[in-house]
Each structure stands twice: as structure tokens, then as C-alpha cells.
């Protein structure tokens, strides 16, 4: 098995230029040389270029938080995948639950965005996850399974996409599923994604939702967890590097 751990930071709608560049500089100088994990930060689109410049030559990559499904055209305020790529990004998050909720993004939309990302030679990080009500109703696995089937584009392979499991109720709340629940969900996801993609031994499955330096090690130790998508704790270099160190 050759899956490299990916620790991805999702800065969300945070950081003006000075703070974002300072954080990028701190990450570039703080990252362990020859780190066992791939590190990635996804700043707001306004900062992708300047953060990429600060991280150039370091082991930390840059990504976007969303892209439009079309290549170009009359979509005021939107950003195409190729534009994100053009700024130095290698990845883009699609289908984050905040986008699914705030912008009513359906699985179909997420699939089109992931497809646009692939066409622009970006690696889409496709997010899925159940709400608290769905988990309480015993539907977590079926909800996540159907999000996966609806959101993975036909052009994807197990080597060209990343999937992040982010239970909605664990995002920004300080609550996480038990490690047994994470393990069970990731094993289910590997099976479902494997049947969609024709294989999933190489597919990287991230866990996201209240990952901190204190809980990263036990989560990252799980067999089917290949990294983390980190929100709040990615805004402080020390915390983000602490999570990366837990992957060693």
C-alpha cells in the first residue's frame, strides 16, 4: 500500500493578506524536512497566489476551497478551476458541507465541479458527511454512500481524487465521532468508492471535523484514514504542524 498521508488545512473565509502570508511563512519554515505526510493549505482565493509564493520551494502545497463547474464564461463572481491552477494550486476542495448548505450544492453540482477540477489538472478533494439527525437515525453510512455515488465524476480514478469524510455535526464543534465510528465509515467509504472507481487501494480518504493536535494521532493511526482535513486548527502554524507531526 503506497498511500501517502495528506494533511490539508481549510482556512475557510479567514485571513487578510498580512496574516495569511505570515502563516504561510511560518509553515514553510516549520515543516519537518522529509516529512512523511504531504501538507496542503487551502486559503481563500484572494490569497492563493501570495501564499503559493511564500510556500514556493517548501514541502507545503496550495489549493482552492471551491471552483466553478464551467471552464469560463458569464458567471459573475465565480472562479474557474483553471484560474486556481494558474495561481499555483494543485488541489481544490469541492462539496464542503458549508458550500452544500450555504449555496445549495447538490451531489450533481459537486460532481460537475470535481470533473472541472480534473479537467484543469487539479486534484479535487470531494467532501461528504452526514448531519447529526442522519447519524441519530442510523443513516450515516447510507447518506455518505449515496453522496459518494452522486459526487464522484466518471473521469475520476482512485489516483486522481481525494475524498474527505466530514460529519457535519463535528465541524467546528469540538466533537468527533468515536475512532470506531470513523474506522467503520472509512472502511465503508473505501468499499463504495472502490466499486464506483474500479479500485480504491490507492484512494486517499481524509477525516475532517474538529481535528486537533491532541486527537490527530489516534485518528491518523486508523487503517483506512489517510490524512485529515483541518479547519480551525489550520489557522495556527503550531497546531497545524502538530497535526502533521502526529502523522509521522
Q: What are phi and psi of 61, to 5 degrees?
A: -95, 170
Q: Does 231 bind ligand PGA (CB under 6 A)?
A: yes
Q: Does 230 bind ligand PGA (CB under 6 A)?
A: yes
- Nearest residue by C-beta to ligand PGA? 231
d(CA 135, CA 121): 35
Residue 42 Rama label (left phi>0; alpha psi -120 to 50; beta): beta
One of 21, 98, 134, 166 is an active-site residue; which one?
A: 166
Q: What are phi and psi of 202, to 5 degrees?
A: -95, -5
Q: Does 39 bind ligand PGA (CB under 6 A)?
A: no
- Nearest of 248, 247, 246, 244 to residue 9 by alpha carbon: 244
Site map 182..201 versus ligand PGA, x via CB under 6 A: --------------------
In the complex, what is the shortest distance from the CB of residue 97 to ligand PGA, in angstroms, rounded to a whole number? 7
The residue (of 70 and 215) whose beta carbon lies closer to ligand PGA is: 215
Examine the residue annotation and report whether 166 is marked as an active-site residue of this protein.
Answer: yes
In the complex, what is the shortest distance from the CB of residue 187 to ligand PGA, in angstroms, rounded to a whole number? 21
CA 167 to chain centre: 13
In the complex, what is the shortest distance from the CB of residue 232 to ligand PGA, in angstroms, rounded to a whole number? 3
d(CA 105, CA 127): 12
Instruction: Please give the helix or strand (H or E) that residue 111 lies within, else none.
Output: helix 107-119
Q: Does 214 bind ligand PGA (CB under 6 A)?
A: no
Q: Does 210 bind ligand PGA (CB under 6 A)?
A: yes
Grid cell, residue 206, equals 481524509
Q: Does 60 bind ligand PGA (CB under 6 A)?
A: no
Residues 156-175 that bind ligand PGA (CB under 6 A): 166, 171-172
Examine the residue annotation and report whether 132 is marked as an active-site residue of this protein.
Answer: no
Residue 88 Rama label (left phi>0; alpha psi -120 to 50; beta): left
In the complex, what is the shortest distance from the CB of residue 168 to ligand PGA, in angstroms, rounded to a whole number? 9
Grid cell, residue 135, equals 447519524
Q: Which stretch binds ligand PGA (CB under 6 A): 105-113, 177-185, 194-202, 226-234?
A: 226-234
Work out which of 6, 7, 10, 123 binds ligand PGA, going by CB under 6 A.
Answer: 10
d(CA 218, CA 196): 29
Grid cell, residue 210, equals 474538529
Residue positions annotated with a catalytic role: 96, 166
Residue numbers of the site for ligand PGA (CB under 6 A)? 10, 166, 171-172, 208-211, 229-233
Amino acid at each position: 500500500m503506497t498511500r501517502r498521508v495528506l494533511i490539508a488545512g481549510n482556512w475557510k473565509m479567514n485571513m487578510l493578506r498580512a496574516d495569511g502570508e505570515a502563516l504561510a511563512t511560518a509553515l514553510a519554515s516549520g515543516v519537518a524536512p522529509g516529512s512523511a505526510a504531504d501538507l496542503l493549505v487551502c486559503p481563500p482565493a484572494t490569497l492563493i497566489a501570495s501564499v503559493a509564493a511564500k510556500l514556493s520551494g517548501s514541502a507545503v502545497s496550495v489549493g482552492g476551497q471551491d471552483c466553478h463547474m464551467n471552464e469560463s464564461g458569464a458567471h459573475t463572481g465565480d472562479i474557474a478551476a483553471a484560474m486556481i491552477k494558474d495561481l499555483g494550486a494543485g488541489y481544490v476542495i469541492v462539496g464542503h458541507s458549508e458550500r452544500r448548505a450555504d449555496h445549495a450544492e447538490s451531489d450533481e453540482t459537486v460532481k460537475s465541479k470535481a470533473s472541472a477540477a480534473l479537467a484543469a489538472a487539479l486534484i479535487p478533494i470531494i467532501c461528504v458527511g452526514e448531519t447529526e439527525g442522519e447519524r441519530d437515525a442510523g443513516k450515516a453510512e447510507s447518506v455518505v454512500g449515496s453522496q459518494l455515488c452522486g459526487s464522484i465524476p466518471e473521469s475520476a480514478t482512485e489516483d486522481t481524487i481525494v475524498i474527505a469524510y466530514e460529519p457535519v455535526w463535528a465541524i467546528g464543534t469540538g466533537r468527533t465521532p468515536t475512532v470506531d465510528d470513523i474506522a467503520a465509515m472509512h472502511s465503508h467509504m473505501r468499499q463504495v468508492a472502490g466499486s464506483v472507481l474500479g479500485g480504491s487501494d490507492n484512494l486517499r480518504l481524509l477525516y475532517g471535523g474538529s481535528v486537533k493536535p491532541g486527537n490527530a494521532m489516534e485518528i491518523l493511526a486508523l487503517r483506512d484514514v489517510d490524512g485529515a482535513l483541518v479547519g480551525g486548527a489550520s489557522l495556527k502554524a503550531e497546531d497545524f504542524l502538530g497535526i502533521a507531526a502526529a502523522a509521522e
